[in-house]
Amino acid sequence: MKKSLKTKSCSHQWRTLSYSSKKEVAFLCSKCQQTHHRSMTKSEQAIVKRRKILKSHTKIHRVWHSFAKEFMEDYFKFKYQGYDMMKRVAKWARTQPKGFVHIVYCDDSYHASSNLVLIEHKRSDKYMGTSVVFIPQCSGEAPIQFFLYPGHRSVLITALAEIQREASQVKKRELARERREYADWEAVVAYPSRNLDVK
């Protein structure tokens, strides 16, 4: 009977393709791409049910949903902007679970101190990515939101690390140049106490 299920050319290697709330499970053979559907067994149903309960307790987007509910209309338009928004977000961040919200600083195009709000889409056993919201303080524009998948995040970190490495080399040369300039100046400066012809 088992033999009749097999095709002549493929000793199937099944993996689970999907399972639905309608108690159906689908399999795919990774060798020949053949699919197979059937109803779930009782123990399979129990596992799926348990996972769903777990998921609803620790939703991966929960902190982002909280942010969007508080500060956006339909996950698209921001309700506030500038310093007002920055203050409101700082207050909201204090009510969120630890390690989900990071507020870092940058300048807007007016060189006014502004915020980048990093919100993590994660739960203890899964990480999807990080939303970033830029809130300019004084440019009069609405905040802007973008999303970093783990790949984007890695590329950004690599770029920033490279910038940092180079900046520290430049800083050394900058300090050396300043010392030289100071010495040059000290050699020629006419301090009032030393040189009486300066009035």
Determine, following the binding rule CB under 5 A, whether residue 17 of this chain makes contact with Zn ion.
no
For Zn ion, the closer of residues 32 and 112 by Cβ is 32
> What share of residues in the chain are helix, strand, coil (percent, to 5)?
40, 25, 30
Determine, following the binding rule CB under 5 A, whether residue 29 of this chain makes contact with Zn ion.
yes
Among 26, 32, 106, 163, which residue sits at the site for Zn ion (rule: CB under 5 A)? 32
Phi-psi group of 94: left, alpha or beta (phi > 0 → left; psi -120 to 50 → alpha; rest → beta):
alpha
Determine, following the binding rule CB under 5 A, whether residue 12 of this chain makes contact with Zn ion.
yes
For Zn ion, the closer of residues 31 and 79 by Cβ is 31
Q: Which stretch binds Zn ion (CB under 5 A): 31-39, 72-80, 81-89, 173-181?
A: 31-39
Residue 2's alpha-carbon distances to 22, 39, 50, in angstroms, are 27, 19, 31
Sequence-separated (6 or more) residues with CB below 8 Å from residue 122: 60, 100, 128
Question: d(Cα 185, Cα 69) in Å, to the nearest integer?
Answer: 60
Determine, following the binding rule CB under 5 A, whether residue 161 of this chain makes contact with Zn ion.
no
For Zn ion, the closer of residues 29 and 118 by Cβ is 29
From 136, 153, 13, select the one nearest 86 (Cα to Cα): 136
Q: Which stretch binds Zn ion (CB under 5 A): 6-14, 15-23, 36-44, 130-138?
A: 6-14
Question: d(Cα 89, Cα 96) in Å, to the nearest integer?
Answer: 11
Residue 58's alpha-carbon distances to 63, 123, 144, 170, in angstroms, are 10, 6, 27, 46
Q: Give min distance, CB of 29 to Zn ion, in A.
A: 3
Among 6, 31, 37, 59, which residue sits at the site for Zn ion (rule: CB under 5 A)? 31
For Zn ion, the closer of residues 9 and 21 by Cβ is 9
Determine, following the binding rule CB under 5 A, whether residue 28 of this chain makes contact with Zn ion.
no
Q: Which stretch binds Zn ion (CB under 5 A): 22-30, 168-176, 180-188, 190-198?
A: 22-30
φ/ψ (deg, to 5) at 93: -60, -35
Contact criterion met (CB below 8 Å) for 133 and 144: yes
Determine, following the binding rule CB under 5 A, whether residue 10 of this chain makes contact with Zn ion.
yes
Determine, following the binding rule CB under 5 A, whether residue 152 of this chain makes contact with Zn ion.
no
Interacting residues with Zn ion (CB under 5 A): 10, 12, 29, 31-32
